[in-house]
Amino acid sequence: MTKSSFSNIQSEYLALIDHNKCVRCKRCIQNCGWGTYSFGGDKILADHSKCVACGRCYTYCPEGAISIVKNPTVLRENANWKEGLIKNIWKQSETGGIVISGMGTTFKYKKYFDHILLDACQVTNPSIDPLREPMELRTYLGKKPSRLDVGIDDNGEPVLKSKMPPQIELQTPFVFGAMSYGSISLNAQKAMALAARALGIVMNTGEGGLHDDLVPFGKNIIVQVASGRFGVHRDYLNSGVAVEIKIGQGAKPGIGGHLPGEKIGADISKTRMIPVGTDAISPAPHHDIYSIEDLRQLIYAVKEATDYEKPVSVKVAAVHNIAAIVSGIVRAGADIVYIDGYTGGTGAAPNIIKDHVGIPIELALAQVDERLRDEGIRNEASIIAAGSIRSSADAVKAIALGADAVAIGTAALVVMGCHVCGKCNTGNCSWGITTQRPELVRRLDPEVYGERLYNLISAWSHEIQEVLGAMGVNSIESLRGSRERLRGVELTDAELKALGIKHAGL
Amino acid sequence: MLKIKNKFNAERDISGCGLCGIINTKKIKTNGSDIKKCISVEHDRGNGLGGGFAVYGNYPDYAELYAFHIMYDNLSAKSDVEEYIKNNFIIEKEEPIPTFKTSKIYDHPYLHRYFIKPKSDRPDKLFRELGDDDFVVNSVMLINQNYDGAYVFSSGKNMGAFKGVGYPEDIADFYKLEEIEGYMWTAHNRFPTNTPGWWGGAHPFTLLDWSIVHNGEISSYGINKRYLEMYKYNLALKTDTEAITYILDLLIRRHKLPISLALTVLASPFYQKIDKMDSEKKELLTALRQIYGSALLNGPFAIVFGHSNGMVAMNDRIKLRPLVAATMGCFTYVASEEAAIRAVCPSPDMIWSPKAGEPVIVEFEEKNIHQKGGLLGL
C-alpha cells in the first residue's frame, strides 16, 4: 500500500501574529511547548497545525501581538456527521490507533449540578451572618461508630470508653484529587502540597509514588496504591495520613493508567521504582483483586501495614451499579470511598472510554448515599465526590446530596494556568503542569501557584459559608445530606427520583 | 372532616410559637391553672391553630401502665386500632378523655385513653425479642402511620398530653386542666405558617415519657430526618418537634448517653471552643460531633423537654429564640417571655436568660439545677 503524503486533518486553531505590534522578542518561541513558533529571519512564523490553544503564548506576549482563533475553514455542517467524528475517522485511518486525549470528556452531556437550586431562609427561620457569626466547615473523613461509647468517671463526668477510628481532619471540605508524579510535574505536586498544608486539607499522590521532596508534607498527603503498585513500599504506606486503593477513575472506568516510557526519567524511575524509559502501564484490574472479598484482603493488608492508624480509602469510578458496589466496598472495610464521576479528568485516556463510559457524579452520589442509609451503614465510611467540581456551588450541591467532601483536580490545574486543551498525554504542556521536560517544568513556581491554590480554596470556602448562612445553618454537617435544601429545575421525574430531590415549587 | 394527621401537601410543618414549663422538684402537685395563666400571657405568640399541655404525675393510680391518648376521626378507625391494642396489650382500663364543651372549641376528634401494658406473649415475640418500651414505640409508629383516622398523641407512664387546635387557654378549658394535678407541666402556643391547624400537629409531641414543646424552625431538618430514618424512625408528622423527640429517644434511650451529653449533641459547642478544652474533653466532644453531626439541630429553637426524672429547657447554639428561666423555692419556671413567668410568680428568687446552647437541667428529688457549664466544665 502506498503511503499518502498528505493529511486530511487541518489545523484546529490559527496562531495569528500582528507583525506591526511584534517586537521579535521571541518569547512565544520560548514559551510554546508545542513548537508552533519559529523565527524566519525577520519575523515570527507560526505552524498552525501544532497549536492546541493552550494560551501560553498570548499570556506571555509582552506586546499583545498574538491571537489564537479557531480555524475558520469549515467542514460542511452536518448535525449527524459532526466535525469531531469525521476528524477521528481521518486520524484513525491515517494511524490505525486509538484516539487518546487528556482531561475529561468534551461531550455536552447534561450537567445536573446546573439544574439544582439551593434554598435560603426567609422569615420563619433566620439566616445567619457569616461575617459576624462562626460558620464551621471542619470535616472529618473516616469511619464513625454508629454510637458514642461513654462511661462515667469517678467525678460523675462522662468519659470516652473507646477510641475513635482514625480520621483525616480537613479545615474545609475540599481535597486535591489524585494526580500522579509522572502524569503531572513535581512542581505541580509541590504547589498542591504547599496549599494543602496552608489550608489544613490534603492532596493525593496518585499512583506514581511519593517523591522525596514531598515526604515532609506527609500530614497533608494521601498516598495511593493502584494496580501498577508503582512506588509502593512500607514507608510509603506510612508516610501520609491515609492510604487510597485506586480501583477506578471517572475518566476511564475499567482501565488502568498509562505513562509512556519517554516520560520516565531518572527521578520518576526512582520514585516509581521502575527502570528508566520503560512504559508504566497499570493493569486494568488489580491482579490480586478479582472480587469484593479480594478487596477486603487488600484493605486489611494495608491496615496491617499501617497499624490500623490510617483510614483506608477506596477510589472507584461512577458506573451503572455504583450504589451496590460502594455498599460492598464499605462492608469490605473501607473507611472512605472516593467516587469519581464520568466527567472527571485524566492525564491520558482513550476517547471511546472517556466520552462514553460511566455515569454523572450527581446521580451516583445521590444513589450511594441513599443506599448506605437504607442499609444503615452510612456512618461506616465517608464519601468524597469528584468528577469536575467546577465551583463552590458544585461543592455545596454535592455535599447536600450526601458527600462528606469533594475533590478537585482539573480546577487545581486551571489555577496553575491550564486552559483545558486536553493534550496532557503528549507531555508538552506549556504551563509546566503535565510535562516532565525540565525547561517547561521549571516555569511552574510551586510557591506562586501554591498561594493561588490557597486563594481559590479560601474563596470557595467563604462562598460555602455565605450559602450556609443564607440557609440558616452554621455548620457544614447540617448541610451534608440535607437534600430538603435542594430543588431541581428542568429535570424529569426519573431524574428527580434518582437525585432524591423535589422539583422547584414543591 | 377534622384533620388529625398532616395530609397537607407540605413536606414540612413549620411554626413559630410560645412555650412555658413549670416543675416542682419535690413533686408537690399543682393543678393546671398556673400553666394556663402562664401560657395565656403568651397569647400573641400563637394564632389559634394549636395549643397543648403535658402533665406528669397525673395518673398515679396507673403509674406502671402506658397511658395511650388516641384521637380518632371516626369510629371505624377506633375499632381497627382497638383490635390491634387488644391483640398486643393487656388493657387495664379505657375511657373517653373527659372534655368540656367551651364556646371556643367547636370541632374536635373523638378522644380516648387506654391504660395498657404489652402482653408477654404478644404475636411479634415469635419473630424477635423487643423490650416493652421498644414495642410501645413501634406500636405508636405503626398506628400513626398505618391506621387512617387514628393518632396516638401520648404514650408515657403517669403522664399525659392534652392538645388540640385552638388557643392554649381554650384547650385548657376544653380538657378542664384545673381539675388535673401534676408536679410538672409544659405548655405550648402554636403559630403554624404553612399548614392550617391539625390536631396531631399541636404540641407537646410525646413518645413514651418524653414530651417536647418547641419554638423554632430547624434549618437542618432535612438531614436530621434522614439520619433518624437510618435508625428506622418514621417521621410521619413532618414536624421539627417530632424530629427532636426521636433524636432524644435515640440518644438517651437507645444509645444510653447521659442527658447532658445528649443535649450537647443538639446544640454542640463550636470547634473553636472545643479546641481549647483539655485533651480528654476535647476528645470526647470532638468524637460526639464526629458521630452525631447529623443530629445537630441547626437553626433557631427553644425547647422544653419533659421526662420522668425532670425537665430540660434549652436554646440553639446561637440563641435565635427567646427563653427565660426562674426559680422560686422548689419551683422552676421556664418560658418564652419573662412576663409569662411573672404572671404566676411575680418575684422569683432568681430569674435569668439561659445562654445559647446551655441547657437548664432540672431534676426531681433534690434541688438540682445545672447550667451545662457546671456539668461539662465548658
**Same structural domain, A23 and A164:** no
Domain boundary among A45, A73, A101: A73
Give me the half-sphere count of Cα atoms (radius 13 Å) on the Cβ side of residue A288: 13
The minimal CB distance from B257 to the residues A150, A164, A475 is found for A150
The minimal CB distance from B272 to the residues A134, A140, A157 is found for A134
What value does the mean pLDDT take over residues A189-209?
Answer: 97
What pLDDT score was predicted for residue B6? 57
- The answer to the question of residue A388 being in a domain is yes
Cell matching residue A467: 450559602
Pick the range with the lowest mean pLDDT from A361-365, B102-106, B287-291. Answer: B102-106
**Range of weakest confidence among A360-364, A472-476, B188-192:** B188-192
Distance in Å, alpha carbon of B247 to nearest chain A alpha carbon = 12
CB-neighbour burial class of residue A183 (10 A; exposed 0-12, middle 13-18, buried 19+): buried
Identify the DSSP state of B219: T
CA nearest to A184, candidates A431, A355, A385? A431
B101 pLDDT more than 70: yes
**pLDDT reading at B376 higher than 70:** no
Q: B3 vs B277, which has greater pLDDT?
A: B277
Residue A162 and residue A282 in one domain: yes
Asked if residues B300 and B293 have their Cβ atoms less than 8 Å apart, the reply is: no
Question: Chain A closest CA to B134's CA: distance in Å?
Answer: 18
Residue A390 CB neighbour total at 10 angstroms: 15
The closest of B307, B98, B343 to B212, measured between CA atoms, is B307
Here the cell at position A14 is: 490559527
Residue B318: all three cell numbers together: 446561637
Kindly tell me if the per-residue pLDDT of A165 is higher than 90.
yes
Residue among B240, B197, B184, B250 nearest B215 (CA): B240
CB contact (8 A) between residue A152 and residue B258: yes
Q: Measuring CA to CA, which residue among B48, B51, B57, B47 is closest to residue B19?
A: B51
**A164 and A303, same domain (yes or no):** yes
Q: Identify from B298, B319, B376 which residue to disrupt to test chain A contact, counting A C-beta atoms within 10 A and taking the largest count.
A: B298
Residue with cell 470516652: A160
Q: Angle A286-A292-A298 (CA atoms, 0-180°, nearest 5)?
A: 55
Closest CB from A473, A481, A506 relative to B219: A473
Q: pLDDT value at position A118? A: 97
A306 & A221 share domain: yes
Residue B9 domain flag: no
Residue B127 forms part of a structural domain? no
In a domain, A469, yes or no: yes
Instruction: State yes or no: pLDDT of B10 exceeds 60.
Output: no
**Residues in A touching B255 (Cβ below 8 Å):** 147-148
Of A73, A96, A113, the domain-final residue: A73
The answer, yes or no, to whether residue B372 has pLDDT greater than 50, is no
**Active site annotation includes B20:** no
Average pLDDT over residues A113-135: 93
State the smallest CA–CA distance between residue A441 and chain B in angstroms.
40
Q: How confident is the model at residue B129 (pLDDT cuts 50, 70, 90)?
A: confident
* pLDDT of amino acid A242: 98
Contact yes or no for B293/A137 (Cβ under 8 A): no
Q: Which range marks the domain in which residue B20 is found?
A: 15-58+158-376
Supply the pLDDT for residue B5: 62
Residues of A with Cβ-Cβ distance to B214 under 8 angstroms:
none
Q: Give the burial class of A49: count Cβ atoms within 10 A of its Cβ; 0-12 exposed, 13-18 middle, 19 or more buried.
A: middle
For residue range A453-467, list pLDDT tens digits in order: 999 999 999 999 999
Q: What is the pLDDT at residue B8?
A: 52
Q: Do B290 and A140 touch (CB under 8 A)?
A: yes
Q: What is the CATH number of the domain that holds A47?
A: 3.30.70.20
pLDDT for A489 equals: 97
- Shortest distance, CA B67 to any CA of chain A (angstroms): 30
A377 with A458, same domain: the answer is yes
What cell numbers appear for A40 in the block? 524566519
* CATH code, domain with B167: 3.60.20.10
Cell numbers at residue B174, please?
A: 376544653
pLDDT at res. A464: 98
Question: Quick check: B209 and B247 in contact, CB under 8 A?
Answer: no
How many independent structural domains does chain B possess?
Answer: 1
Closest residue on chain A to B192 (Cα): A124
Least confident of A337-346, A395-404, B231-240: B231-240
Whole-number pLDDT of residue A258: 84
Q: Is residue B351 within 8 Å of residue B36, measured between CB atoms?
A: no
User: Helix B240-248 to helix B259-266 angle, to the nearest 10 degrees?
Assistant: 140
Please report residues of A whose CB lies closer than 8 A to that of B271.
Answer: 136, 138
Phi, psi of B129 (to 5 degrees): -105, 95
Higher per-residue pLDDT: B192 or B70: B70
The answer to whether the beta carbons of residues A127 and A471 sit under 8 Å apart is yes
Pinpoint the alpha helices (H) of chain B.
33-41, 75-88, 132-146, 168-174, 221-230, 240-248, 259-266, 271-274, 279-292, 338-344, 372-376
Among A152, A160, A485, select the one facing B222 at the smallest CB separation.
A485
| Distance in angstroms (rounded) separating the CA atoms of residues B244 and B205 | 9
Asked whether residue A201 falls in the same domain as residue A60, the answer is: no
Query: Mind listing the pLDDT tens digit for each residue in A343-399?
Result: 999 999 999 999 999 999 999 999 999 999 999 999 999 999 999 999 999 999 999
Mean of the pLDDT values across residues A427-435? 95
Exposure of A389 in the CB half-sphere (CA atoms within 13 A)? 29
Number of domains in chain A: 2
Q: Is B317 on the interface with A (CB under 8 A)?
A: yes
Sheet holding A486-488, edge to edge: A116-118, A486-488, A502-503
DSSP letter for each residue of A156-201: S-EEE-SPPPP-EEESSSEEEEE--BTTB-HHHHHHHHHHHHHHT-
How many residues comprise chain A?
506
Minimum CA–CA partner of B280 in chain A: A159
The pLDDT of residue B369 is above 90: no
For residue B378, name the pLDDT band (cuts at 50, 70, 90): very low
pLDDT of residue B242: 85
Determine, yes or no, domain membership for A106: no
A118 inside domain? no
User: Which of A446, A462, A124 shows the shortest CA–CA distance to B219?
Assistant: A124
Residue B278 domain flag: yes
- Together in a domain, A187 and A323: yes
> pLDDT tens, A229-267?
999 999 999 999 999 999 999 999 999 988 888 888 899
Q: How far is A151 from chain B (nearest CA, A)?
A: 9
Residue B296 touches partner A, C-beta closer than 8 Å: yes
Provide the pLDDT for residue B122. Answer: 85
Q: Identify whether the C-beta of residue A372 lies closer than 8 Å to the C-beta of residue A326.
A: yes
Whole domain around residue A157: which residue ranges? 139-503
CA atoms within 13 A on the CB side of A76: 3
What pLDDT was estimated at residue B220?
Answer: 93
Interface check for B233 against chain A (CB to CB < 8 A): the answer is no
- Closest by Cβ to A160, choosing from B220, B283, B289: B283
Return the number of CB contacts < 8 Å for A and B. 125
Residue with the larger pLDDT of the pair A355 and B120:
A355
One-letter amino acid for residue A45 of the chain: L
Which residues of chain B neighbour A373 with C-beta distances below 8 Å?
226, 229-230
Which of A116, A119, A122, A124 to probe the B interface (max B CBs under 10 A)?
A: A124
Q: B129 in contact with A at a CB cutoff of 8 Å? A: no
Q: Is A90 among the domain residues? A: no
- Which residues of chain B from 247 to 266 reach within 8 Å of chain A, CB to CB? 254-255, 257-258, 260-261
Left if phi > 0, otherwise alpha if psi is -120 to 50, otherwise beta: which for A235?
alpha
User: Are A329 and A211 part of one and the same domain?
Assistant: yes
**Domain CATH for A459:** 3.20.20.70
Model confidence at B196, in pLDDT bands (50, 70, 90)?
low
A37, A19, A21: which is closest to A29 by C-alpha? Answer: A37
Choose, out of B219, B279, B286, the residue to mutate when testing the contact with A (most A CBs < 10 Å): B219
Residue with cell 484482603: A297
Using pLDDT thresholds of 50, 70 and 90, give the confidence band for residue B125. Answer: confident
Q: Is the pLDDT of residue A74 over 90?
A: no
Do residues A468 and A122 make contact, with C-beta atoms less than 8 angstroms apart?
A: no
Q: In terms of domains, do A203 and A57 share one?
A: no
A187, pLDDT greater than 90: yes
Contact A481 B223 (CB under 8 A): yes
Contacts of B98 (CB under 8 A, 6+ apart): B175, B176
Angle made by CA atoms B121, B148, B130, in degrees to the nearest 5: 25
Q: Is the pLDDT of residue B93 over 60?
A: yes
Nearest to A124 among B14, B280, B288 (CB): B14
User: Which chain B residues contact residue A121 at CB under 8 A?
Assistant: 219, 299
By Cβ distance, the residue of A147, A376, A473 closest to B299 is A473
Question: Distance (Å) from the C-alpha of residue A323 to the closest C-alpha of chain B?
Answer: 16
**What residue ranges in A95-173 does DSSP mark as E strands?**
100-101, 116-118, 139-141, 150-152, 158-160, 168-170
Is the residue at A440 inside a domain? yes
Q: Which of A349, A5, A329 is nearest to A143 (CA)?
A: A329
Closest chain A C-alpha to B45 CA, distance in angstroms: 13
Domain end position, chosen among A26, A56, A73: A73
Higher pLDDT, B192 or B232: B232
By C-alpha distance, the chain B residue nearest A373 is B230
The answer to whether residues A163 and A302 belong to one domain is yes
| Residue B78 contacts A, CB cutoff 8 Å | no
